[in-house]
Amino acid sequence: MVANIGDSLRRQRLTVNVISPSIQLYSIERRSIQTALNGISARFSAIKRVPDDVWYELLSVRMSQSDNFCPGMAPISLPALHYSHVCRAWRRVVNSSPSMWRTILSNIPPDKEPNRNLIDLWISRSPDDQQINELQSFSGLAIAGSVRMKLGLPIHNGLQYLLFQSRNQSRKRLSYSQDCDYRSAINIPSLCLLPSYCCTRAPRLQENLIHRFPRLEFLLLHDILPRGMDSLPSTLISLSVAFDVPHDSYRLSDLLKPGLQTLRLGYFSSLNIPIPKQNIQLPNLRMLQVTPLEHNILKKLDLPSLERLILSPPLNTSATFPDNWTEALVPHCANVTSLVLHWLSTLPDESIPTLDSLQVFSKMYLNTPKLLEVNFNGGNIDGNALADLLGGKQQRRLKSLIIGGYIGVSRFDCERYSQYVDKLYVYGSKNQSNEPPSAEEEEVLKAILRHKIADISVVDKNITQAREAIASAKLALDVLSQSSARSYSILGAHQKCPGILSRSSQSCPIPHELYATDLAEALRKACEAVSLCSTIKATTAEETVNSAISMALSELKTLLASVDDALRRQRLILNVNSSSLRLYSRERQPIQTVLDDIRERFSVIKRVPDEIWYEILTLRLIRENRHWPQPRDAPLFIPALHYTHVCRSWRRVVSSSPSMWRGIHWNMGPEREPNRNLINLWISRSQEDDRRLYERQSYSGFTYAGSTHMKLQLPISEKLQCFLYQTRKQLPHGQTADRSSAINLPVLCLQSSTSFTRIQDVQASLIHRFPLLVTLKLQNTLPRTIVNLPNSLTHLSLEFGISHETYRLTDFLKPSLEFLTLLHFDGPTTPVLSQNIILPRLRILDITPLEHDILTKLNLPLLEKLFINPPRNSAAMFPTGWVEALVPHCTKVVSLRLDWPARLPDEGRISIDRLQILRYLRVHTPKLLIVKFGSGSIDGNALAEFFETDIHHRLEELIIDGCIGVSRMDCERLVEYVGKLSVYRTVHRVAAKNDPE
C-alpha cells in the first residue's frame, strides 16, 4: 500500500512538473497571439480622434491671439462662441473650459444697446476672471457716466468685471462749453479703473467716481487710488487691487467691507504696503488671491470661511520675498478646499524671483485638512518629489490635481499621481511636449540613454540565450520521446520471459552520457538487435538464443535509463529557461519605456495631420455656406479667407484646397460696388467648375437686373465664372420688364423653381442680352425660343432635377465649348442629335448614363476629364451598352471621376458597379492618371486586387471621398499601387438599424 501511494505521488509530481511548464508556455504563446488579435482588431476599430488636450492647447493659443486684437465689425463678439461651431470635438473642449470664455470683445457705439443674450451666455460660461476688450475709448468719464454707461455698456447684475479703460481719453474731448456730469448715479454693479497716462482730466473725473456707484458689487483698481474709498457701499462683494508700478500708501481698511467674498491683492513692492492697524474680520470671504508681499496684511486678517487660496507672483520682477511668509497663510487654511500656485517658468539667469512651489505646497498640505483640489500653473517643479509627497505619511486622496505649463513633470510622474487623485489634468507640461531639450537636459538624457541601451543589450542577450535553450530542449524532448516509444513496446513484449530479463539486468554496463541524437540512434540499433535475435533459426541452441536476447535486452534497458535521465534534464532546462525568459521580459519593459520616452524627447515635433484639419474645416465651411450672411456681416465675404488667418496649419490646408474656396457670400445693395480684389482672390483660389455665389437679396424679376442691379451691384469682372441668378419672385403687377439693354456679363445661370409664365417669358429673351457670354448654366429651365448663343461660349451646363420637355441640343453645342455638363432627368425626354457634331476644344465632360445616344453622335478629340454622375430621377432606367458609348472619347482622358450616392437596398435607386466600369474603361484610357470615387459603396478589397493585377501604368493619384466599404487595411494595400492616395470621409461599413453593435 505504501509503495502504491509512493508511486502515485511520484506520478502526480511528474504530472505537475510536466503540465506547469506547458501552461507557462501556452500563456507565452497566447500573449503573442492576443497581441496580433489586438492589432488586427484595432484595424477595424473607429478612427482615432485627436485628444482633447491637443485641441485645448491649439484653441488656447488661438484664444490668446484673439484677445490681443480689437473686435472688427460685430458690436459684441465672443471668440469662444465662434470655435464652438466648428465641430463636436471643439464644442466639447470649449464648453468644458471656462478659461476660454474669459474674454468678450466690445465694439458698441454709444447709441446702441448691447446684445443681452450674448452677454448672458458669456456670464454663464466664463470664470471669475472675465475681461472685456473695448475698441473705442470715449472721452473721459463724463460721457461714460451720462451716455456711455447708460446705453452702451452691458447693464447686467451678474457681470463680474467691466474693464473701463481711460488710457486714450485725449482722443475725444468735450467741447469747451460742455459741462461734465459728475452727479448722476450709475446703477451698474461693476467698476474697473485703469490709469490714464496722457490725460490730465481723467484723475479729476475719477476722484468722485466711486460715490456715483450706489450698488457697487465688483471693484477693480489697477495702478490707481481714487479718492473717497472710505465711503464704499456695503454691497461690495468682490475687490481687486493690483499695482505694477510704485504707488502711495493708503488705508486698506476702508476697502475691506464685511460683505466681501472675493479679495485679490497684488502690490508692486514691500514698500508702502498698507498694513491695517487692527485686526479685521471678513466672515464671508471665500476666495483670496495674494502674493508673498502681503504677509503682514494676512497677519491682521481673520478669514474663517476661506475656501480657495491663490498664490501668484508680484508684478515687480525685482521684489524680494520676506522670510517665512508662508507662516502668515497657515491660520486661514483650516477650511481651504482649493489651492492654486501660479508662477512663471523662468531660467536660472533671469531676475524674476523664483518660488519653490513644492516647498510651499508641502507647507500648505500639512495645514489644509480639507484640501480637495490643487492647481500648479506655470513654473518649475520636481515631479518625482511631488509624487513622493502625495504618497507620504500625510497621504489623503485629492479629487483633482491640475498641472499646467510646468517644467519637470514627466509621464512616469503622472502615472504615479493617478494613484493618489481622482482626476488628473496635465496641460502644456514641458516633459509632455516634443520640444527639443536644452543643452543641459540633452547631456543628461544622452547619458541616461547610453546607460539604458547598455542595460537593455544585456537583457536582450539573456533573452536570446534563454530562447535558444528552450528551442534546443524542445527539440531534444521531441527526438527522445519519439525514439523511446518503440523500445518500451519491445520490452513489454518480452515481459513473458522474466528469467531472461532478470539475468540480463544483472550484468548490464552503464554507458557514458550521450546526446539526444546519439541516444536515439543507439536505441534504434538496440531494437534492431533484439529483433534480430528473435528471428534466429530453430537449429540454433536454445541457450545461445537466450544469451543473445538477454544481452540485447540488457543494452536496451541501459539505453532507456539514459533516455529517462536525458528527458528529465531537458525538462529541467526547459522549465528554468522559461522562468528566466519571463523574468527577463518583465525586466526589459521598464527599460524600454524609459528609452522610448527619452527618444521621444529628441524626435521631431508632432503636429495635427492636415487630413484632420481638412475634415474639420470642410464641415465648418459647409455649415457656413448653408446660411445667408447676416445684415451686419461684411458685404462681400469669403468663409475660407477667414480661416487662413488662424494659424499656419490652417493656412496651408485651406490654401491648398480649392474646394474650400467654393463659396462667396454676397450681401450688397444696388448702391455699392463690390471689392474687386476680393473677387479676384476668390477666382484665383477656387475651382473653375465648382464655384458658388450665395446672395441674400432676391430682386423682383429682371427689371432691376437689367438697369440697376446688374450694373451697380454685381461684380462686373470678366473673370467671374458663376453667378447664381434666382428667378423665384415675380415682377410687381403692371411693371414692364427691361428686355432690350445688353448685359455685358460673361456668366449667366438661370434657376427656375416656379412655373410663372411671366418669368419664363423673361427667360426666353434673356440669353440674347448677353453678347459676351462665356458661361451658361441652366437648371430646370429651357428658353422657349430658338437659342443663338455667341461664339465666346466655353462653358455649358444643362441640369434637370424635374421632368422636362425635349429640346434642340444642337443649338447649345458651340464649337468653342471647353466644358460640357449634361444631367437629364429621364431617358424619354433626353434629346437626341440628328447628325454628328465635333467639339474640337472640349476638355471636360460631365454626364449621366442617360446621355449614351448623345455620345454616339459626338466627336471629342481633346477630352481630358470625364465625370460620370447619377441622374436626379432615382427611377430612371439605364440603357444597355451606355459604357461602350464612352470608349471612342477616352484615348486622351487623364482624369476619371465616378460619383454615385450611397443608398439603402430598399430605396429603389438603380446602382452601378463602378469598379466594373473602371475595369472596362481602364483598357481604353492609356493616359489615365487620376481616378476619383465620390460617395456610394465600393469594395475596397476588390479595388486593391484590381490595382494589384493591373498591367497598365501606375496611377498618379487615387481619391476616395465619402464612400462605404473601404477599410484601413485596404488603404494600406492601395498605397502600394498608386502614387498618391487621398481618402476623405470614408468608412468600412454603415451599421444597420438592427445591428446589435
CA 692 – CA 690 distance, rounded (Å) = 7
The answer on 593 and 450 residing in a single domain is yes
- Which position has the higher pLDDT, 674 or 210? 210
Is the confidence at residue 513, as pLDDT, over 50? no
Question: 383: pLDDT confidence band, cut at 50, 70 and 90?
Answer: confident
Q: Give the pLDDT mean for 412-438.
A: 67
CA 987 – CA 911 distance, rounded (Å) = 19
What residues make up the domain containing 693?
Answer: 619-697
Final residue in a domain of this structure, among 547, 567, 601: 601
Q: Please check whether residue 668 lies inside any domain of the structure.
A: yes
The answer on 485 and 467 residing in a single domain is yes
Final residue in a domain of this structure, among 571, 601, 631: 601
The answer on 594 and 463 residing in a single domain is yes
Is the confidence at residue 177, as pLDDT, over 60? no
- The predicted pLDDT at position 163 comes to 31
Q: Give the pLDDT mean for 912-931.
A: 88
Q: Give the pLDDT mean for 576-604.
A: 79
Q: Please check whether residue 798 lies inside any domain of the structure.
A: no
CB 668 within 8 A of CB 713: yes
- The predicted pLDDT at position 843 comes to 95
**pLDDT tens digits, 98-116:** 777 777 766 555 445 556 6
CA 364 – CA 326 distance, rounded (Å) = 8
Q: Give the pLDDT mean for 137-152.
A: 30
Is the confidence at residue 821, as pLDDT, over 90? yes
The owner of cell 434642340 is 808
- The predicted pLDDT at position 531 comes to 59
Q: Which of 237, 241, 274 is nearest to 257 (CA)?
A: 237
Strands 663-666 and 636-637: what pairing? antiparallel
The answer on 444 and 429 residing in a single domain is no
Question: 844: pLDDT confidence band, cut at 50, 70 and 90?
Answer: very high
What's the count of helices (H) and strands (E) in the chain, helices before strands? 25, 31
The answer on 445 and 427 residing in a single domain is no
Q: Please check whether residue 747 lies inside any domain of the structure.
A: no
Q: Give the pLDDT mean for 186-191.
A: 70
- The predicted pLDDT at position 161 comes to 29
Q: Please check whether residue 902 lies inside any domain of the structure.
A: yes
Long-range pairs for 513-517: beta carbons < 8 A, 24 or more residues apart? 513/562, 514/562, 514/566, 516/475, 516/476, 516/479, 516/480, 516/566, 516/570, 517/479
- Which position has the higher pLDDT, 706 or 67? 67
CA 434 – CA 281 distance, rounded (Å) = 49
Q: Please check whether residue 675 lies inside any domain of the structure.
A: yes
Question: 494: pLDDT confidence band, cut at 50, 70 and 90?
Answer: low
- Which position has the higher pLDDT, 140 or 821? 821
- The predicted pLDDT at position 112 comes to 54
Cell of 691: 464655384
pTM here is 0.36
Residue 675, SS3? Answer: coil
Q: Which of 291, 245, 244 is nearest to 264 (CA)?
A: 291
The answer on 589 and 493 residing in a single domain is yes
- The predicted pLDDT at position 174 comes to 34
Long-range pairs for 242-245: beta carbons < 8 A, 24 or more residues apart? 242/266, 242/267, 242/315, 243/267, 243/268, 243/315, 244/268, 244/315, 244/316
Q: Please check whether residue 69 lies inside any domain of the structure.
A: no
Is the backbone of residue 272 left (phi > 0), alpha (psi -120 to 50) or beta?
left
- The predicted pLDDT at position 190 comes to 72
**Radius of gyration for the alpha carbons in the chain, expressed in angstroms and rounded:** 43
Backbone angles phi, psi at 296, to 5 degrees: -70, -30
- Range with lowest mean pLDDT among 758-762, 831-835, 889-893: 758-762
Q: Please check whether residue 827 lies inside any domain of the structure.
A: no
The answer on 570 and 638 residing in a single domain is no
CA 535 – CA 519 distance, rounded (Å) = 25
- The predicted pLDDT at position 285 comes to 92
The answer on 418 and 349 residing in a single domain is yes
Final residue in a domain of this structure, among 647, 675, 697: 697
Question: 505: pLDDT confidence band, cut at 50, 70 and 90?
Answer: very low
The answer on 536 and 454 residing in a single domain is yes
**Mean pLDDT taken over the chain:** 70
Q: Please check whether residue 946 lies inside any domain of the structure.
A: yes
- The predicted pLDDT at position 879 comes to 76
The answer on 526 and 465 residing in a single domain is yes
Is the confidence at residue 816, as pLDDT, over 90? yes
489: Cα within 13 Å, side-chain hemisphere:
10
The answer on 572 and 532 residing in a single domain is yes
- CA distance between the termini of the chain: 61
Question: 641: pLDDT confidence band, cut at 50, 70 and 90?
Answer: confident
The owner of cell 460620370 is 868
**pLDDT tens digits, 4-56:** 676 666 666 656 655 665 566 566 667 666 766 665 665 454 445 667 777 77
- Which position has the higher pLDDT, 154 or 923? 923
CA 832 to chain centre: 51
- How many domains does the chain divide into? 5
The answer on 467 and 406 residing in a single domain is no
Percent of the chain with pLDDT over 90: 7
Is the confidence at residue 639, as pLDDT, over 50? yes
Is the confidence at residue 86, as pLDDT, over 60? yes
Is the confidence at residue 979, as pLDDT, over 70? yes
CA 217 to chain centre: 42
Distance (Å) of CA 98 to CA 122, 123, 134, 567:
10, 10, 21, 71
- The predicted pLDDT at position 446 comes to 80
CB 863 within 8 A of CB 890: yes
